[in-house]
Amino acid sequence: MPLVDPRFGARLRVLRLSRGLSLRALGQLAHRGKSHLHDLESGTKAPTPDTAAHLDRVLQAGGTLASLVDQPVDHDAEAEDLLARVKASDVSAETLARIEAGVDDLASAYATTAPADLLPLVRRHLACVGRLLDGRVTLAQRRRLVVAGGWLTVLRATVHVDLQHRSAAGAHLAAASRLALEGEHPEIQAWCLETQAWRSLIEHDHRRALDLCRQAQRAAPRRSSAHIQATAQEARVWARLGDVRRTRRTLDRLGQLTANLPVPERAEHHYRYDPTKALAYTATTLAWAGDPAAEQAARAAVAELDPRGDGGDRPRRSASARLDLALALAARQPDEASAVAAEAISAGRVVPSNWWRAGEVLRRIERTGAPEAAALREVYEEHRPAGRHSGQ
């Protein structure tokens, strides 16, 4: 039997009268007999929880009547049921380990795999995470799956940025940010902000990029990979803004953060900062800032990334380093700049989101009037991604 507060009858009567209803009128509204309602008000009969909830709705009492009627509680049974639900899972430890290893594999493949080829692999892995979340998982397993989904989603957004799928990138960055919140993972949140900063930078919204870099640094755990990467990104933004002093200061901060930093076990993992990237980042930043030291840094980066001259083990980074060198050389040595830029472009490793850098080098060389510019223009037009206009 339900437990009924003795005040139920009196409360029902007050509510009925305050709305100007007779017992008959309330009975018509509630589809209950007049005598049954009289027995409830007088306490002769006890209401069921369903009846109390129904009268609540009819009298618009906001749950007042239902709160006075309760079912007897078997506390031991409820506690045991909750514990059983928490422990119930259809996901094995091996499955979770494979999911997390797959996240690391895909993040490591980012540097060497064409974005269009990587995207379907990331999507398939995300679909698997989604299916597992639909099943029975423990609380600990759910958090691990949410975190794995967060990493995969920010990686997917990054690939969409590379492919210049603007709306898709925005949607998945927003989703990754929510997953980071759900999984209580500040580093994923910071990577979302850093990726947004990169997108703003390549869209030439430099002030927004700067704000996002600073947000990422605040969100990221101190000295984490996301914190270091956001600092490197900030230096590049200052370079695009033409502030050489702040560019240098930020590079100094980056140097302090990466001093004595060990090379990670998987150096190409996109979300683990590799200190060997520092030279390439410095070359890019100085070239964008127009700093005379850019040439030396870019030459050193090319030699480090591609010692054999065949693209090396990091062909995408090698192509970017050559574009940095070409940009640094464009004004003074347009002939060498043209040759270096043509090599970078013809390697086929410049992703669509970076194509504007090739266009910038081409325009710089064309402004010098160097005869080599025409040949570079031909290489540029031959390799430019579909949908990109000449010189962009």
pLDDT, tens digit, 9 for 90 and up, residues 208-224: 999 999 999 999 999 99
Residues facing residue 69 across a β-bridge = 4
Amino acid 297: pLDDT: 93
Collect all residues with Cβ–Cβ distance below 8 Å to 219 and sequence separation of at least 6. 186, 189, 190, 193, 226
Mean pLDDT, residues 140-146: 94
Contacts of 215 (CB under 8 A, 6+ apart): 193
Closest to 162 measured CA to CA, from 194, 199, 192, 125: 199
Residue 280 in contact with residue 306, Cβ under 8 Å?
A: no
pTM over 0.75: no
**pLDDT at residue number 390:** 38
Band (88; pLDDT cuts 50, 70, 90): low
> Considering only CA atoms, which of 276, 271, 282, 280 is closest in space to residue 261?
276
Q: How confident is the model at residue 2 (pLDDT cuts 50, 70, 90)?
A: low
Tokens of 241: 């803004």
Question: For residue 126, which of 145, 104, 101 has the smallest C-alpha distance?
Answer: 145
Query: Residue 389: its pLDDT value, please?
Result: 41
Would you say 48 and 2 are in contact if contact means Cβ atoms under 8 Å apart? yes
d(Cα 289, Cα 308) in Å, to the nearest integer? 29
